C-alpha cells in the first residue's frame, strides 16, 4: 500500500512538473518496488531524456534489464554509464551480464577489473570464481579464493567455492 502511495505522489509531481528528473527516477524506483518493471523502465528513460548523464538512472535501468534477462540491452546501458564514471558496481553488473550471455572471458575481465578497483568486496570474488569455474580455470580460481579468504575467512560461500575448485582440479584430499 505504501509503495502504491509513493507511486501516486511521484506521479503527481511529474504531472505538475514534467521536467522533474528526480521524481521520474523515484517513480521508477517505486514501480520496480511493486514489480512493475516495464513502467520502471519508462520512468528511468524519462529521467534520462531530461538528464542524459544521470548516472544512477543508467545503473538502475541496466539492473531492471538484467532482471528481465535482457542482458544485451543492460550491457548497452552500462557502457553509457562507463562513459561517465567507472565503478566497481558497473564492472560487477557487466560481469554478470557477460556470464549470463556465456561470454565468460569478458565476465572474468570485468570481475578482475572490479577487484583492481576494490579488493575488499567479496561479491566481486564470488562472481569471478563462478566465471572461472565455467571456463574450468581451477588453478587461477584457487589463487583468487585464497586471496579472498585472507580478507574474509568466515565467508561460507568462499569456502563452498574453494571446495568446488579443488574438486574441479581433482584435488580430492583438499576439497
Instruction: In whole angstroms, give the CA distance from residue 37 to residue 54.
Output: 19
Output the pLDDT for position 160: 95
C-alpha cell at 73: 540491452
* Residue 69 confidence (pLDDT) above 70: yes
Residue 2 banded pLDDT, cuts 50, 70, 90: confident
CB environment 97-129: b (16+ within 10 A), e (fewer): bbbeeebbebbbbbbbbbbeeeeebeebbbbbb
pLDDT of residue 7: 93
The mean pLDDT of 144-171, rounded to a whole number, is 92
Overall average pLDDT of the 42-60 stretch? 97
Is pLDDT of 173 > 80?
A: no
CA nearest to 82, candidates 43, 23, 74 = 74
pLDDT tens digits, residue range 70-121? 999 999 999 999 999 999 999 999 999 999 999 999 999 999 999 999 999 9
Q: Please calculate the CA angle 97-102-108 and round it to the nearest 5 degrees.
A: 70
Amino acid at each position: 500500500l505504501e509503495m502504491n502511495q509513493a507511486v501516486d505522489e511521484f506521479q503527481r509531481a511529474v504531472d505538475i512538473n514534467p521536467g522533474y528528473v528526480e521524481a521520474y527516477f523515484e517513480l521508477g524506483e517505486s514501480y520496480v518496488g511493486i514489480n512493475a518493471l516495464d513502467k520502471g523502465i519508462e520512468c528511468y528513460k524519462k529521467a534520462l531524456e531530461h538528464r542524459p548523464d544521470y548516472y544512477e538512472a543508467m545503473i538502475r535501468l541496466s539492473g531492471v534489464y538484467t532482471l528481465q534477462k535482457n542482458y544485451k540491452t543492460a550491457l548497452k546501458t552500462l557502457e553509457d554509464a562507463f562513459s561517465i564514471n567507472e565503478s566497481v558496481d558497473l564492472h560487477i553488473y557487466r560481469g554478470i551480464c557477460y556470464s549470463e550471455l556465456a561470454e565468460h572471458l569478458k565476465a572474468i575481465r570485468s570481475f578482475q577489473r572490479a577487484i583492481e578497483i576494490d579488493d575488499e568486496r567479496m561479491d566481486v570474488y564470488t562472481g569471478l570464481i563462478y566465471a572461472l569455474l565455467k571456463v574450468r580455470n581451477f588453478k587461477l580460481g584457487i589463487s583468487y579464493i585464497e586471496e579472498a579468504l585472507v580478507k574474509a575467512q568466515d565467508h561460507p560461500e568462499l569456502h563452498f567455492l574453494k571446495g568446488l575448485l579443488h574438486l574441479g582440479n581433482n584435488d580430492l584430499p583438499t576439497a
